[in-house]
Amino acid sequence: MPFRSGFVSIIGRPNAGKSTLLNALLGQKLAIVTHKPQTTRTRIHGVLEVPLKKKAKGEPGHPAAQIVLVDTPGIHKPETHLDKRMMQEVYDALESRDCVLFIVDVTHRLPQPEKKEGQGTPKPFTANRMAESAAEDNFALSLIQRLSKETKVCPVLLLLNKIDAISPGEVMPLIAHWSALYDFAEVIPISARKKINLDLLLDKVVAQLPEGQRYFPKHQLTDQPERFLVAELIREKILLLTGEEVPYATAVVVEKFEEPVPELTETGKIKKRPAGAKLPLTKIAAAIFCERTGQKAILIGKQGSMLKEIGTAARKDIESLLGTRVFLELFVKVQDDWRSKQSFVEDLDWRRQLEQIAAKQAAEE
Ligand SMILES: Nc1nc2c(ncn2[C@@H]2O[C@H](COP(=O)(O)OP(=O)(O)OP(=O)(O)O)[C@@H](O)[C@H]2O)c(=O)[nH]1
């Protein structure tokens, strides 16, 4: 069977579970996930190899494929310049797709919110919250409708996510509700967190892809260099450990990323590390930008306790990402109202930073 390949965008309102789905499909943490909306700020490509599936009883099978998954920031109405930049990421992702996965959070359409482990009976969503969720879903759907009118060829798969948090009887009415709104190529109930129906989802995605060669080498998991994944891991810890407006007013830039230089043998091969020897060390320094001195004080904490907590948690994740020991230095800097400053926001884009690093290296050489 001929090989297939294509770009598949994952879109949906903030907190619908896009990053969780990307990580679950890739089997590795590529995108950061928190319970806070608007966690994802830039587009991330995750590269997934799907092996050939042979025909079997009741199984149509499919050829081997490479799916380039494009995670996007949650679709919401833009207010600040950062918001606009995030929405541009969504439009860009939509333009370069072979198929779109539109993900909705089923728990938001029911009177009961998701029950969190270790918590008592959850409070019902307020009418306001339900209306807000519905408005965001509708806004996302209107983008898709517009796009499909413009190009006429875009298969959209609707993913009803978080079915682990509702009862099976509640799924059918949701399928009926959504199917009446748009002619989706497929409607698939899934749980990204519990990995329910993800195999079925991959079968359906491969069925939509055109024949073609790989876009990325076979073992490349992402197009995003490690230093930017590191910045995201630090930002994730800030999102998890700080409250109120601090997470949203924070940006992380890795300013130093010194990878260990491998020791070479006389013949120029990389020396094997003796058993029990310490792992090599990566040295990283990162700046955490916030908008006000008050936020800086929160990020640093009493006698540096918050910054230490952020650093310790991030270092653990970074060590497992890089497979080395990590020496991590964090600095907090105030940049007044950076979210509204176009040039600052644009400089945060990792592709732009990559260009600047390459230009600096070229000048030094
Ligand atoms: N119960 C349940 N929770 C889920 C599922 N998928 C995601 N979540 C939770 O939903 C929250 C949001 O998940 P994310 O993956 O960060 O959502 P997102 O759509 O990427 O969010 P943004 O980055 O804000 O656009 C997290 O707390 C997840 O753990 C699921 O299948 N079931």
C-alpha dihedral over 349, 351, 354, 358, to 10 degrees? -130
Cα separation, 322 vs 314, in Å, equals 12
Spell out the residues 6+ positions from residue 352 whose beta carbon is closer than 8 angstroms to its own.
346
Question: Does residue 181 come out as left (phi exceeding 0), alpha (psi in the -120 to 50 range) or beta?
Answer: alpha
Find the 288 Cα to ligand 1 centroid distance in Å.
24
Q: What is the pLDDT of residue 311?
A: 96
Q: What is the pLDDT of residue 75?
A: 61
Q: Find the range with the poorest average confidence among 89-98, 293-302, 333-342.
A: 89-98
DSSP symbols for 192-233: TTTTBSHHHHHHHHHHHSPB---SS-TT--BSS-HHHHHHHH
Query: Exposure pattern of 172-191 as b/e (b: 16+ CB <10 Å)?
Result: eebeeebeeeeebbbbbbbb
The preferred substitution site among 10, 13, 15 for testing ligand 1, maximizing ligand atoms within 8 Å of CB, is 15
Closest CA to 98 of 214, 205, 223: 205
Mean pLDDT of 79-106: 72
4-11 sheet: strands from edge to edge: 44-50, 65-71, 4-11, 99-105, 156-161, 186-189
Cα separation, 7 vs 223, in Å, equals 13
Band (205; pLDDT cuts 50, 70, 90): very high
Answer for the pair 30, 44: CB distance below 8 angstroms, yes or no.
yes
Q: What is the pLDDT of residue 98?
A: 84
Report whether 74 belongs to an annotated binding site: yes
Answer for the pair 216, 224: CB distance below 8 angstroms, yes or no.
no
- Asked whether residue 90 carries a pLDDT value surpassing 70, the answer given is no
Answer for the pair 224, 350: CB distance below 8 angstroms, yes or no.
yes
Cα separation, 52 vs 62, in Å, equals 6
Report whether 14 belongs to an annotated binding site: yes
Q: What is the pLDDT of residue 113?
A: 47
pLDDT in tens, 98-156: 888 989 998 875 444 445 555 444 455 566 666 766 777 777 787 777 766 766 556 88
Answer for the pair 21, 161: CB distance below 8 angstroms, yes or no.
yes
Q: Find the range with the poorest average confidence among 9-13, 37-41, 60-64, 279-283.
A: 37-41
Mean pLDDT of 244-254: 84
Band (84; pLDDT cuts 50, 70, 90): low
- Show the ligand 1 pocket: residues with CB < 6 angstroms: 12, 14-20, 33-35, 37-40, 73-74, 114, 161-162, 164-165, 191-194
Cα separation, 354 vs 357, in Å, equals 5
Element (H, E) at 19: helix 18-26
Domains of the chain: 4-208 (3.40.50.300), 226-364 (3.30.300.20)
Q: Find the range with the poorest average confidence among 122-131, 142-151, 221-230, 278-287.
A: 122-131
Find the 164 Cα to ligand 1 centroid distance in Å.
12
ipTM of the shown complex: 0.96
Find the 39 Cα to ligand 1 centroid distance in Å.
10
Report whether 134 belongs to an annotated binding site: no
Band (92; pLDDT cuts 50, 70, 90): low
Q: How much is the pTM?
A: 0.66
pLDDT in tens, 288-330: 999 999 999 999 999 999 999 999 999 999 998 888 899 999 9
The preferred substitution site among 10, 18, 22, 33 for testing ligand 1, maximizing ligand atoms within 8 Å of CB, is 33
Higher pLDDT, residue 39 or 176 = 176
Mean pLDDT of 327-347: 88
Angle of helix 305-322 versus helix 293-300 axis, rounded to 10? 70
Residue nearest to atom 32 of ligand 1 (CA): 162
* Average pLDDT of every residue of the chain: 80
pLDDT in tens, 17-61: 988 898 899 876 565 555 555 555 555 678 888 888 888 887 778
User: Residue 44 phi/psi, 5° resolution?
Assistant: -125, 135
